[in-house]
Protein backbone atom coordinates (compact mmCIF):
# COMPACT_ATOMS: atom_id res chain seq x y z
CA UNK A 1 0.00 0.00 0.00
CA UNK A 2 1.28 3.40 -0.93
CA UNK A 3 0.40 6.57 0.93
CA UNK A 4 0.19 9.75 -1.09
CA UNK A 5 1.21 13.12 0.30
CA UNK A 6 0.30 15.03 -2.84
CA UNK A 7 -1.30 18.30 -1.79
CA UNK A 8 -0.33 17.95 1.87
CA UNK A 9 1.29 20.81 3.75
CA UNK A 10 4.55 19.98 5.53
CA UNK A 11 6.51 22.13 7.99
CA UNK A 12 10.16 21.18 8.48
CA UNK A 13 12.28 22.86 11.15
CA UNK A 14 16.02 23.09 10.64
CA UNK A 15 15.42 22.68 6.91
CA UNK A 16 18.10 24.97 5.50
CA UNK A 17 20.77 22.26 5.32
CA UNK A 18 21.64 18.64 6.01
CA UNK A 19 18.91 16.19 7.00
CA UNK A 20 16.22 18.88 7.15
CA UNK A 21 16.98 20.10 3.64
CA UNK A 22 16.89 16.54 2.30
CA UNK A 23 13.56 15.91 4.02
CA UNK A 24 12.08 19.12 2.58
CA UNK A 25 13.28 18.22 -0.91
CA UNK A 26 11.96 14.66 -0.71
CA UNK A 27 8.56 15.72 0.66
CA UNK A 28 8.27 18.28 -2.15
CA UNK A 29 9.19 15.63 -4.74
CA UNK A 30 6.43 13.45 -3.28
CA UNK A 31 3.91 16.25 -3.86
CA UNK A 32 3.73 18.13 -0.57
CA UNK A 33 3.95 21.89 -0.29
CA UNK A 34 6.77 22.47 2.15
CA UNK A 35 7.57 25.20 4.63
CA UNK A 36 11.34 25.46 4.92
CA UNK A 37 12.34 27.12 8.18
CA UNK A 38 15.43 27.78 10.25
CA UNK A 39 17.12 30.69 11.99
CA UNK A 40 18.48 32.20 8.75
CA UNK A 41 15.74 33.03 6.27
CA UNK A 42 18.27 33.59 3.46
CA UNK A 43 19.36 29.96 3.70
CA UNK A 44 15.73 28.85 3.79
CA UNK A 45 14.94 30.90 0.71
CA UNK A 46 17.79 29.24 -1.17
CA UNK A 47 16.40 25.77 -0.37
CA UNK A 48 12.85 26.88 -1.20
CA UNK A 49 14.03 28.24 -4.55
CA UNK A 50 15.79 24.95 -5.35
CA UNK A 51 12.52 23.14 -4.60
CA UNK A 52 10.53 25.55 -6.79
CA UNK A 53 13.07 25.18 -9.62
CA UNK A 54 12.56 21.41 -9.42
CA UNK A 55 8.79 21.91 -9.82
CA UNK A 56 7.80 21.79 -6.16
CA UNK A 57 5.99 24.24 -3.90
CA UNK A 58 7.90 25.82 -1.03
CA UNK A 59 7.68 28.72 1.39
CA UNK A 60 10.70 29.98 3.32
CA UNK A 61 10.20 31.30 6.84
CA UNK A 62 12.56 32.41 9.58
CA UNK A 63 12.09 30.51 12.83
CA UNK A 64 14.33 30.02 15.83
CA UNK A 65 12.57 27.06 17.44
CA UNK A 66 13.93 27.98 20.86
CA UNK A 67 11.68 31.05 20.81
CA UNK A 68 7.98 30.34 21.31
CA UNK A 69 6.97 33.54 19.52
CA UNK A 70 8.85 32.36 16.42
CA UNK A 71 6.99 29.04 16.51
CA UNK A 72 3.68 30.87 16.91
CA UNK A 73 4.55 32.98 13.87
CA UNK A 74 5.65 29.91 11.89
CA UNK A 75 2.37 28.12 12.52
CA UNK A 76 0.23 31.20 11.88
CA UNK A 77 2.10 32.09 8.67
CA UNK A 78 1.71 28.53 7.42
CA UNK A 79 -2.01 28.53 8.20
CA UNK A 80 -2.40 31.95 6.54
CA UNK A 81 -0.60 30.75 3.40
CA UNK A 82 -1.96 27.21 3.08
CA UNK A 83 -4.98 26.97 5.40
CA UNK A 84 -3.77 23.86 7.19
CA UNK A 85 -0.79 21.81 8.39
CA UNK A 86 -0.67 18.09 7.66
CA UNK A 87 2.92 17.11 8.46
CA UNK A 88 5.35 18.51 11.03
CA UNK A 89 8.98 17.45 11.01
CA UNK A 90 10.86 18.57 14.13
CA UNK A 91 14.42 18.42 12.87
CA UNK A 92 16.09 21.52 14.34
CA UNK A 93 18.62 20.71 17.06
CA UNK A 94 21.74 22.02 18.72
CA UNK A 95 24.64 20.75 20.77
CA UNK A 96 26.90 23.56 22.02
CA UNK A 97 28.65 21.33 24.58
CA UNK A 98 31.17 18.57 24.02
CA UNK A 99 32.69 16.79 26.96
CA UNK A 100 31.76 14.96 30.16
CA UNK A 101 28.54 15.83 31.99
CA UNK A 102 30.37 17.17 35.03
CA UNK A 103 31.71 19.99 32.80
CA UNK A 104 28.31 20.88 31.34
CA UNK A 105 27.42 24.51 31.96
CA UNK A 106 23.85 25.36 32.96
CA UNK A 107 23.33 27.67 29.98
CA UNK A 108 24.44 24.93 27.54
CA UNK A 109 22.04 22.47 29.20
CA UNK A 110 19.17 24.96 28.92
CA UNK A 111 19.97 25.67 25.26
CA UNK A 112 20.10 21.96 24.38
CA UNK A 113 16.87 21.08 26.18
CA UNK A 114 15.06 24.18 24.96
CA UNK A 115 16.01 23.75 21.32
CA UNK A 116 15.94 19.98 21.03
CA UNK A 117 13.04 19.03 23.29
CA UNK A 118 10.86 21.89 24.53
CA UNK A 119 10.54 23.36 21.03
CA UNK A 120 8.99 20.12 19.75
CA UNK A 121 6.50 20.11 22.61
CA UNK A 122 5.56 23.69 21.76
CA UNK A 123 5.30 22.86 18.07
CA UNK A 124 3.10 19.84 18.77
CA UNK A 125 0.86 21.88 21.07
CA UNK A 126 0.51 24.53 18.36
CA UNK A 127 -0.17 22.16 15.46
CA UNK A 128 -2.00 19.11 16.80
CA UNK A 129 -5.30 20.96 17.39
CA UNK A 130 -5.25 22.20 13.78
CA UNK A 131 -4.44 18.73 12.45
CA UNK A 132 -7.26 17.23 14.50
CA UNK A 133 -9.74 19.73 13.01
CA UNK A 134 -8.70 18.78 9.46
CA UNK A 135 -8.85 15.03 9.99
CA UNK A 136 -5.37 14.19 11.23
CA UNK A 137 -1.74 14.57 10.40
CA UNK A 138 1.74 13.41 11.21
CA UNK A 139 4.35 14.56 13.72
CA UNK A 140 7.87 13.37 13.02
CA UNK A 141 10.77 14.09 15.35
CA UNK A 142 14.28 13.48 14.11
CA UNK A 143 16.00 11.85 17.04
CA UNK A 144 19.37 10.12 17.28
CA UNK A 145 20.93 6.80 18.17
CA UNK A 146 22.25 8.67 21.21
CA UNK A 147 18.70 8.46 22.61
CA UNK A 148 19.36 4.77 23.18
CA UNK A 149 22.97 4.65 24.36
CA UNK A 150 25.17 6.45 26.86
CA UNK A 151 27.77 9.00 25.83
CA UNK A 152 30.93 10.30 27.46
CA UNK A 153 30.95 13.50 25.42
CA UNK A 154 27.41 14.49 24.35
CA UNK A 155 25.35 13.46 27.35
CA UNK A 156 22.91 16.37 27.44
CA UNK A 157 22.26 16.03 23.71
CA UNK A 158 21.59 12.31 24.27
CA UNK A 159 19.18 13.13 27.11
CA UNK A 160 17.32 15.62 24.91
CA UNK A 161 16.97 13.05 22.14
CA UNK A 162 15.75 10.39 24.59
CA UNK A 163 13.21 12.91 25.83
CA UNK A 164 12.13 13.53 22.24
CA UNK A 165 11.44 9.81 21.79
CA UNK A 166 9.27 9.81 24.91
CA UNK A 167 7.52 12.98 23.77
CA UNK A 168 6.55 11.18 20.57
CA UNK A 169 5.15 8.26 22.58
CA UNK A 170 3.14 10.54 24.84
CA UNK A 171 1.76 12.56 21.92
CA UNK A 172 0.75 9.35 20.15
CA UNK A 173 -1.27 8.35 23.22
CA UNK A 174 -2.84 11.81 23.60
CA UNK A 175 -3.57 12.59 19.96
CA UNK A 176 -3.52 9.24 18.16
CA UNK A 177 -6.61 7.42 17.07
CA UNK A 178 -8.06 5.19 19.77
Q: Which residues are catalytic?
A: 157
Could you tell me the sign of the dihedral formed by the alpha carbons of 157, 92, 121, 106, in that order?
positive
Q: What are phi and psi of 78, to 5 degrees?
A: -65, -45
Go through the chain and tell me how many residues it has: 178
Q: What is the 3-state secondary structure (H, E, C) of the chain?
A: CCCCCCCCEEEEECCCCHHHHHHHHHHHHCCCEEEEEECCHHHHHHHHHHHHHCCCEEEEEECCCCCHHHHHHHHHHHHHHHCCCCEEEECCCCCCCCECHHHCCHHHHHHHHHHHHHHHHHHHHHHHHHHHHCCCCEEEECCCHHHCCCCCCEHHHHHHHHHHHHHHHHHHHHHCCC
Amino acid sequence: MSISIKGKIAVITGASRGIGKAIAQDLAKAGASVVVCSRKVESCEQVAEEIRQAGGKALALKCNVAHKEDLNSLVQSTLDQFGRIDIVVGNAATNPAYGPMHQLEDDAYEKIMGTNLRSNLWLANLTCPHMEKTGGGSLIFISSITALIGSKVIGAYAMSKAGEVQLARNLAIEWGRT
